[in-house]
Amino acid sequence: MTHYVVRAVDRADPETIAALRGAGVATGHEAAGRIGLLGPAIRARQSGVVIAGPAITVSCPPGDNLMIHAAVEVCRPGDVLVVTTTSPSTDGMFGDLLATSLMAHGVVGLVIDAGVRDLAALREMGFPVWSRAVHAQGTMKAGPGSVNIPVVAAGQIVRPGDIVVGDDDGVLALPAARGPEVAAAAARRLASEDAKRERLAAGTLGLDMYDLRPLLAALGVEYVDRLPEAMA
């Protein structure tokens, strides 16, 4: 089997990435037509952090982080490293030393479908990670893999250069070509949500704002003051 380290990555423009960072995962997911969301097994390991950037993808053998080291060389400022393994693994493949290296090259965060360790140090450093597990089990540097090939993380395909957004709600990966369209839709959605938020804060019921009363009636939902005696 041939393994590759692909140097060239087509990255989205910074304005589009910034707009999707501002929108966040949930709004971006809805604006994109509910595509691109990684499964909930990959979780934020810090609170209140939002990142977005082009994906640098890594495929590793389980329990081996050699290819993460190889990937650092092709990373550019603003990138997000997305690491997967060729079979399921929760080993701690990433810690504070690799984070130090990535930070020196301007990488803004890590998404890994495996484990991380040195979590307290990572939080203190301010290097954000989203991972399947936190596990102190160490790894080797012995097996070949590939950098910047399509990978699957938590059930979602991620391609090199995809726009990856991460926050407390999870991780979203979108094709770079769809970035401007999704960013524009997300901006419209945010404006609409602001208006709805004002109405809800003023006391308007969601039933009325979304005109849901006819739907309840069509579904056979009845309003009564008390349950019929037979059901009480």
Residue 110 in marked binding region: no
Q: Report the C-alpha gap between 129 and 106 in whole angstroms.
A: 14
DSSP string, 45-75: SSSS--EEEEEEEEEE-TTB-HHHHHHHTT-
Residue 169 in marked binding region: no
Q: Please return the burial class of 89, using the count of CB atoms within 10 Å of its CB with bins 0-12, 13-18 and 19+.
A: buried
Three-state secondary structure call for residue 2: coil
Residue 97 in marked binding region: yes
Residue 117 in marked binding region: yes
Residue 95 in marked binding region: yes
The answer to whether the CB of 159 falls within 8 A of the CB of 55 is: yes
* CA diameter of the chain: 73
Q: What is the CA radius of gyration of the chain?
A: 22
Residue 172 in marked binding region: no
The answer to whether the CB of 56 falls within 8 A of the CB of 84 is: no
With vertex at residue 155, the alpha carbon angle to CA 153 and CA 159, rounded to the nearest 5 degrees, is 50
Residue stretches of the annotated binding site: 95-98, 117-118
| Known binding residues for substrate | 95-98, 117
- Binding site, annotated residues for Mg(2+): 118
